[in-house]
Amino acid sequence: MPKNLWPNLAKGAAGFILGLAFWWALSAPYARVLAFVSEPLIRAAERPPVTRLIAAGTELTIDRDDFPRASPRPGLMLMDITANVILLATLFSVTQKPLSDRNVPRVLLAMLALVLVHVAAVVVNVQSIYALRLGPWSAVHYGPVARNFWGAAAHFYTVVGVFGAPFALWWLLRPSR
């Protein structure tokens, strides 16, 4: 028996557009939030704590007190890390009643959980930059196991986590029928 997919397609499209608008409008302020929350986590593992994350638009500039003044500072584009907000909004919009009192709190909880995923992704990506992209400095401060771990973790988030996290959150928090 064929099912009419047009209502779900319309709700999905609306959720996609709403998620895209939300993500686009809040990306720059969200970068400041991610820098504020992620920096202490990175500094907690450093002796002495020297990392500073500076939000500039939708990019985080990674600065360290032990970098030479004239050296370029690596950056991290957050739009690639946080675009999964759009997918999460789209998934929750195709429920039977997207604006119900059962669905809206679940969406908000999933978005909050996604913030934690984004913080972890920032920490992992900064460590990956430290371990792999700073030439001789990386080789001195990170051994082969650490370089492989941080590189694999950042790659895993880019390939699997960026899509898997919203699907997992939606699956765990979606309203049951």
> Tens digits of per-residue pLDDT, 107-116?
999 999 999 9
Q: What are the structure tokens assigned to 71, written together?
A: 């050296």
Structural contact between residues 6 and 14, judged by C-beta atoms closer than 8 angstroms: no
d(CA 124, CA 154): 6
Q: How many Cα atoms occupy the beta-carbon half-sphere of 87 within 13 Å?
A: 17
Identify the band that residue 177 occupies on the pLDDT scale cut at 50, 70 and 90. Answer: low
pLDDT the model gives residue 18 = 96
pLDDT the model gives residue 2 = 59
Neighbours of 138 (CB within 10 A): 17
